[in-house]
A and B are shown apart, each in its own frame.
Chain A
Amino acid sequence: GENVEQHPSTLSVQEGDSAVIKCTYSDSASNYFPWYKQELGKRPQLIIDIRSNVGEKKDQRIAVTLNKTAKHFSLHITETQPEDSAVYFCAARPPGSQGNLIFGKGTKLSVKP
């Protein structure tokens, strides 16, 4: 079955710097890749997603890139702010899973003011 690996597990950056989180997946037929942000005690919140027919997607300070050949996708956050501090989860949707998501183990991002 699909397996998603996420790195790093923790990431500390200075406010204003960029942060990059990387995920790799094993099933080349996976076709949907969302990213969720989860603040302490809160729900996972979708922040951006990308489908396999697109290589890059941006939303203000957040971007996601997808390399289907290498089977990896990355989350890029520019001009980080303290409120970006949270746990970020990547996920992949394999074909035939009928909507089921396979999550990575998460990255705890700390943005220091």
Chain B
Amino acid sequence: DTEVTQTPKHLVMGMTNKKSLKCEQHMGHRAMYWYKQKAKKPPELMFVYSYEKLSINESVPSRFSPECPNSSLLNLHLHALQPEDSALYLCASSQDRGVVETQYFGPGTRLLVL
């Protein structure tokens, strides 16, 4: 399996809802990433997990809460989001964060916050 998968593909939520985004890879990669991408912009790094430990949080608001239950799974828990949080949320993985750093992206979850 050489893919990163993400669910759901689309998500519409109200500002009071709680939802979760899921990401999975079975390539044995030990680094996983969450990115946020607005239209016509490059991906913007949110969080990095390395060997299931959170190693980088790029000053992301606490309404976004990442979780890495095991080396193949990455979740992003959403609570009390704002309309400006509407974006494409991309997960990526790489073999590690050192020598082999090629990142492979999942298809993304398109989130709309009403």
Chain A contacts to B: CB under 8 angstroms: 32, 34, 36, 42-46, 49, 87, 89, 91, 93, 98-101, 103-106
A91 to B94, CA, bound (A): 15
Task: Give how many A-B residue pairs fall within 8 Å (CB-CB).
Answer: 51
**Interface range on chain B: under 10, 10 to 19, 20 to 34, or 35 or more?**
20 to 34
Q: Give chain A residues whose Cβ lies under 8 Å from the Cβ of B43.
A: 44, 89, 103
Interface residues of B in 80-99 (CB under 8 A from A): 90, 94, 96-98
Are the C-beta atoms of A93 and B107 separated by less than 8 Å?
Answer: no
Q: Give chain A residues whose Cβ lies under 8 Å from the Cβ of B94.
A: 99
Q: If A99-B94, A106-B40 touch, does A43 touch B106 (CB 8 Å cutoff)? A: yes
Are the C-beta atoms of A99 and B105 separated by less than 8 Å?
Answer: no
A93 to B42, CA, bound (A): 15
Are the C-beta atoms of B55 and A98 separated by less than 8 Å?
Answer: yes
A19 to B43, CA, bound (A): 23
* 14 more CB-based (< 8 A) A-B contacts, given A93-B101, A106-B40: A42-B107, A43-B105, A43-B106, A44-B105, A45-B105, A49-B102, A87-B40, A98-B97, A99-B31, A99-B94, A99-B97, A101-B103, A104-B42, A106-B41
A91 to B104, CA, bound (A): 13
A-B contact pairs, 6 of them (CB 8 A): A87-B40, A91-B42, A98-B97, A98-B98, A99-B96, A103-B43
CB distance from A97 to the nearest CB of B (A): 9
Are the C-beta atoms of B42 and A89 separated by less than 8 Å?
Answer: yes
Q: Give chain A residues whose Cβ lies under 8 Å from the Cβ of B48.
A: 98-100
Are the C-beta atoms of B41 and A46 separated by less than 8 Å?
Answer: no
CB distance from B93 to the nearest CB of A (A): 10
Interface string of B44-83 (1 = CB under 8 A from A): 0100101000011000000000000000000000000000
